[in-house]
Amino acid sequence: MNSSALEHPTLVLNRHWTVVNVVPVRHALVLVCRDAARVIAPDTYEIHDMPSWAAQAVAAGESVVRLVSRSIRVPEVIVLTHYERPPRRYVPFTRRNLYRRDQYTCQYCGKRPGSENLSIEHIVPRSHGGRTSWTNCVLACVRCNVRKANRTPEQAGMRLLRRPFRPRWMPHLTLPDGVAKQSWSQFVSERYWEVELTD
């Protein structure tokens, strides 16, 4: 088998065609072989089990998995045969989501100077053990960020407009840039591809 093709991403839908996950092709093929999933041909929406998918013609330039006797197309989208409920997801801590939560507003002075003049501010500074998280990060304008410096708001004599919180929006997917395939656009909007922030 072609190991690099086996690591390509496959979009997973539940039986109601709602996005639930992204898995490597290797895992997707195991699900299809066990009859736990079917492959969806994105151009026609036809559903295939393993024998009918393996019988599909491979177009020139298409990604394939090479078996002993033949090559089969890499499945880009699969649908689970029984699973109905999407897994519980939490809103990922991303720069975009933080700006959305704080409404592009400095959480100290209440001004909205534009995204280029806002930064992610750690309430408890990282040098004092503060973490990069929903409850320790807010947006701050340049002026407030400089004023607070490497101190807590109390030490700097500043007050937050509101206590930071983890949003309760329902996210769809969290993917690194460049992973989404064109065929997925029929099942999920591009605006949900986001990159998580880390310490």
DSSP track, 147-186: HHTTS-HHHHT---SS--------------TT---GGGGG
Q: Are 192 and 22 in contact (CB under 8 A)?
A: no
66 vs 120, higher pLDDT = 120
Give CA–CA dist 55/187, Å, rounded. Answer: 25
pLDDT digits (tens, 9 = 90+) for 63-89: 888 877 788 999 999 999 987 565 556
3 has pLDDT over 70: no
DSSP 8-state code for residue 48: E
50 has pLDDT over 70: yes
Query: Which residue matches tokens 């053990």?
Result: 129
Least confident residue range of 101-110, 143-152, 172-181, 189-198: 189-198
- Contacts of residue 18, defined as CB under 8 A and 6 or more positions apart, other chains included, come to 86
The highest-level CATH class for domain 95-156 is mainly alpha
199 has pLDDT over 70: no
Indicate the average pLDDT of the chain. Answer: 85
pLDDT of residue 155: 96
* Domain residue spans of the chain: 3-88+172-188, 95-156
Q: Are 121 and 140 in contact (CB under 8 A)?
A: yes
For residue 82, give Cα distances in angstroms to 13, 14, 24, 38, 86. Answer: 11, 7, 20, 11, 12
Q: Are 78 and 11 in contact (CB under 8 A)?
A: yes
Residue 69: how many other CB atoms lie within 10 Å: 6
20 has pLDDT over 60: yes
Percent of the chain whose predicted confidence (pLDDT) is above 70: 83
